[in-house]
């Protein structure tokens, strides 16, 4: 048992809970509880968005993926970084403006306001989609926490899961969105410290011991030193598509990320947030990739029962206990920052999209906050069950959830923002086809050939376009009919 690290973990957890308690003492309305009331600075929202977007998947899943795959794993980082940069440059301000214009607090709420003729159906199917996949995403984070605590302290994974979910629920329950964002900011910095500091020390050790990264990659496998995985032609195309396909989930379809865009105050804050988010992404993904590569070199020929524990094992090996405790807290930070945001997404879908809008139940602000907090408790329990009984890898579960939610809702957002002919029926077709397409695809061997992150996006996009053309919005159809009459009159005249 690493006593110093345990004490640092405990202090870190107490600080998080204290922040949640501090904000729980403030009298918050429903809009503040779910979206911060447009009071948060852009740089804080950027740190929060990045901490939310990168979770146990990045520190545990992706570093382990690089360790198993070698240089070709770079294309995952390229796809994700491209998606993050695109979303901040081209979508963040759009989300901010649309949220202000339509006075909405959630991604489903925005789609419902834009296509009011199908509002209730859109709210219901969006909520079903989000809860179905987001709960597995949430469960993956908690399972990742259990792995971390087991690796560091030898704590039984079940106990680690219970400790982690208790912190997440307390933080979300007490302070809502504002507490989550401010703690995310701290956690984002800790994650960055871990992702940048660890590979630097690892590279110094490699140089000091006169080790060769290329030699280690060659000995690890025949394709590990190839940027293309040793593939050519069609097979290479599939590799690039499958790894780069994470890009499509960042095009506005992740509700826990778009909430940060909606919370931005003005264009100046959005510009600040964009700069912070892009810099964070470059440093974090470069560091995560190097962690996997340097681990291959330092632990050449060693077998690991679970490659997704490479990062905490490296930290324990390369740093003194008191520094290791700070860096390992970065892993817990990643897990908590994503998990609490996912709980709030599920919460907002229930209290705002279903109770308030779809069902039209007129509750006071305090009662809506109470409904939100009760939903946090219920969703937390469901996530706990998933974490305890799921045997899948963190990387795979997050990948599937990314396809199911992000790559389904991203086409809906892109078409809503940039295509005037998109219709309410098209939105429904987009969501249903994306949901069904993901479930069917990951249930077949096709997932091993082409990732559902790619197929889901284009299936949902195609159905959205086709059904919008077949069933246009009434006002669009009326306008088109008037235009045709006007053109006919002009020609006859």
Q: How far apart are the first and last CA of the chain?
A: 91
pLDDT of res. 3: 75
CA distance 267 to 272: 9
- For residue 191, is it within any domain? yes
> What is the total count of domains within the chain?
1
- For residue 205, is it within any domain? yes
pTM: 0.81
* Cα distances (angstroms) measured from residue 371 to each of 131, 344, 350, 351, 357: 16, 12, 8, 6, 14
DSSP state letters, 3-43: HHHHHHHHHHHHHHHHHHHHHHTS---HHHHHHGGG-S-HH
Asked whether 294 and 67 are in contact (CB, 8 A), the reply is no
pLDDT of res. 465: 96
pLDDT of res. 24: 67
Q: What is the pLDDT confidence band of residue 462, given thresholds at 50, 70 and 90? A: very high
Q: Pull the structure tokens for residue 385.
A: 């069950």
pLDDT of res. 52: 81
User: What percentage of the chain carries pLDDT values higher than 70?
Assistant: 88
CA distance 97 to 296: 46
Taking the CA atoms of residue 399, residue 401, residue 403 and residue 406 in that order, the dihedral angle to the nearest 10 degrees is -120
CA distance 61 to 246: 14
Q: Is the four-CA dihedral 471, 473, 475, 480 of positive or negative sign?
A: negative
Q: Pull the structure tokens for residue 178.
A: 């504002």
- Convert the pLDDT of each residue in 378-437 to its tens digit: 888 888 887 777 655 555 666 677 788 888 999 999 999 999 999 999 999 999 999 999
What DSSP designation does 450 have? S
Question: Residue 223, exposed/middle/buried by CB under 10 A (0-12, 13-18, 19+)?
Answer: middle
- For residue 399, is it within any domain? no
Q: Is residue 358's pLDDT more than 60?
A: yes
pLDDT of res. 490: 41
Window from 23-27, 187-191, 235-239 with minimum mean pLDDT: 23-27
- For residue 335, is it within any domain? yes
Q: What is the pLDDT confidence band of residue 487, given thresholds at 50, 70 and 90? A: very low
32-56 mean pLDDT? 81
Q: Is residue 488's pLDDT more than 50?
A: no
- For residue 468, is it within any domain? no
- Convert the pLDDT of each residue in 269-282 to its tens digit: 999 999 999 999 99
15-44 mean pLDDT? 75
Q: Is residue 318's pLDDT more than 70?
A: yes
Question: What residue numbers bound the domain in which 207 lies?
Answer: 3-394
- Convert the pLDDT of each residue in 51-63 to its tens digit: 888 766 788 788 9
66-85 mean pLDDT? 90
Q: Is residue 477's pLDDT more than 70?
A: no
- Convert the pLDDT of each residue in 299-309 to its tens digit: 887 877 778 77
CA distance 175 to 173: 6
Q: Quick one: which H or E segment has residue 298?
A: helix 267-298
Q: Pull the structure tokens for residue 116.
A: 């009011």
pLDDT of res. 292: 92
Q: What is the pLDDT confidence band of residue 30, given thresholds at 50, 70 and 90? A: low
Q: Is residue 198's pLDDT more than 80?
A: yes
Q: What is the pLDDT confidence band of residue 483, given thresholds at 50, 70 and 90? A: very low
- For residue 436, is it within any domain? no
- Convert the pLDDT of each residue in 134-192 to its tens digit: 887 787 778 777 776 776 667 787 888 888 888 788 777 776 777 778 878 887 888 88
Q: What is the pLDDT confidence band of residue 10, given thresholds at 50, 70 and 90? A: confident
Longest Cα–Cα distance in the chain = 91
**Mean residue pLDDT across the chain:** 83
Phi/psi-derived region of residue 119, left when phi > 0, alpha when psi is between -120 and 50, beta in every other case? alpha
331-349 mean pLDDT? 75
Write the CATH number for 121.
1.20.1730.10
- For residue 435, is it within any domain? no
pLDDT of res. 9: 75
- For residue 405, is it within any domain? no
CA distance 215 to 191: 30
Question: Residue 227, exposed/middle/buried by CB under 10 A (0-12, 13-18, 19+)?
Answer: exposed
């Amino acid at each position: 048992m690493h006593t110093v690290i345990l004490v640092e973990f405990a202090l870190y957890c107490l600080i998080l809970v204290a922040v949640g308690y501090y904000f729980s003492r403030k009298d918050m309305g429903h809009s503040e509880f779910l979206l911060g009331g447009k009071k948060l600075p852009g740089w804080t929202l950027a740190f929060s968005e990045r901490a939310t977007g990168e979770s146990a998947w990045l520190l545990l899943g992706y570093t382990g993926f690089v360790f198993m795959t070698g240089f070709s794993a770079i294309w995952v980082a390229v796809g994700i970084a491209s998606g993050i940069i695109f979303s901040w440059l081209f979508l963040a301000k759009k989300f901010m403006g649309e949220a202000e214009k339509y006075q909405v607090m959630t991604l489903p709420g925005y789609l419902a306001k834009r296509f009011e003729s199908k509002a209730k159906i859109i709210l219901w199917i969006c909520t079903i989609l989000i809860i179905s996949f987001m709960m597995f995403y949430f469960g993956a984070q908690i399972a990742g926490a259990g792995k971390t605590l087991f690796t560091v302290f030898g704590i039984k994974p079940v106990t680690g899961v219970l400790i982690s979910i208790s912190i997440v629920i307390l933080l979300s329950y007490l302070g809502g969105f504002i507490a989550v964002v401010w703690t995310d900011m701290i956690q984002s910095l800790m994650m960055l410290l871990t992702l940048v500091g660890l590979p630097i020390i690892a590279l110094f050790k490699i140089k000091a011991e006169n080790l060769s990264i290329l030699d280690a990659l060659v000995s690890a496998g025949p394709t590990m030193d190839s940027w293309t995985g040793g593939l050519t032609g069609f097979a290479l195309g599939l590799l690039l598509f499958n790894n780069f396909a994470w890009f499509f989930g960042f095009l506005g379809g992740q509700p826990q990320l778009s909430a940060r865009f909606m919370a931005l105050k003005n264009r100046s804050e959005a510009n600040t947030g964009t700069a912070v988010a892009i810099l964070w992404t470059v440093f974090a993904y470069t560091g995560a990739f190097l962690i996997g590569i340097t681990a291959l070199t330092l632990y050449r020929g060693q077998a690991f029962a679970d490659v997704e524990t490479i990062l905490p094992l490296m930290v324990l090996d390369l740093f003194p206990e008191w520094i290791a405790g700070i860096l390992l807290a970065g892993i817990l930070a990643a897990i908590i920052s994503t998990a609490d945001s996912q709980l709030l997404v599920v919460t907002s879908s229930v209290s705002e999209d279903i109770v308030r809008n779809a069902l039209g139940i007129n509750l006071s602000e305090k009662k809506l906050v109470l409904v939100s907090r009760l939903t946090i408790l219920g969703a937390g329990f469901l996530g706990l069950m998933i974490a305890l009984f799921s045997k899948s890898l963190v990387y795979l579960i997050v990948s599937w959830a990314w396809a199911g939610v992000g790559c389904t809702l991203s086409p809906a957002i892109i078409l809503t923002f940039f295509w005037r002919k998109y219709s309410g029926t098209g939105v429904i077709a987009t969501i249903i086809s994306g949901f069904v397409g993901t479930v069917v695809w990951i249930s077949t061997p096709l997932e091993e050939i082409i990732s559902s992150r790619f197929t889901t996006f284009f299936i949902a996009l195609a159905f959205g376009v086709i059904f919008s053309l077949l069933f246009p919005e009434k006002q669009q159809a009326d306008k088109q009919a008037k235009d045709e009459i006007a053109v006919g009159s002009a020609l006859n005249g």
